[in-house]
Amino acid sequence: MNVLSNKEILALGEALDDEYKSWATYDQVIKDFGQVRPFSNIRDAEARHIAALHELFTLYELDIPQNNWPGRVPRYAGLQQACLDAVSAEIENGEMYERLLLATQRSDILRVFRNLCDASQQRHLPAFQRCAQGGGRGDCGGGRRGRGFGAR
């Protein structure tokens, strides 16, 4: 019963690769601009997303692919563009999870995919939208520094 279909394996791999890419992109923004929000909070959330997917890989006895994205992600001249691109990436992430949810009926995989989709659409996307509207100042749209508006 623990044998996944090829479709399920591909869905898990796509989800993990996308989370790796997000983590690496947000990590690069932090390397370039410092511990700016919401990137710092959401990078930490992406690490938790990766860990949740790793648990599924382990449960189903699949080899865990390495993150090949560090050093291969966009670099930005300013936070404004980084915020705008992050908005687009989170929208695409939500669309991906909506599609991947159709790849399985397994409750554990569905739960993880739904949780990751919800985090992307309900927490990450609004945080990056605030960042973009605030001119990419790295403070979630102005003056709210320190209140933790990033992902939890």
Task: Tell me: pLDDT of 94 over 70.
Answer: yes
99-110 pLDDT, tens digit each: 999 999 999 999
139 pairs with which residues across the strands?
Answer: 37
Q: How far apart are CA 70 and CA 56, in angstroms?
A: 23
CB atoms within 10 A of CB 134: 18
126-148 pLDDT, tens digit each: 999 999 998 655 443 333 333 23
35-91 pLDDT, tens digit each: 999 999 999 999 999 999 999 999 999 999 999 999 999 999 999 999 999 999 999
pLDDT of residue 2: 77
Say whether 66 sits in a helix, a strand or coil: coil
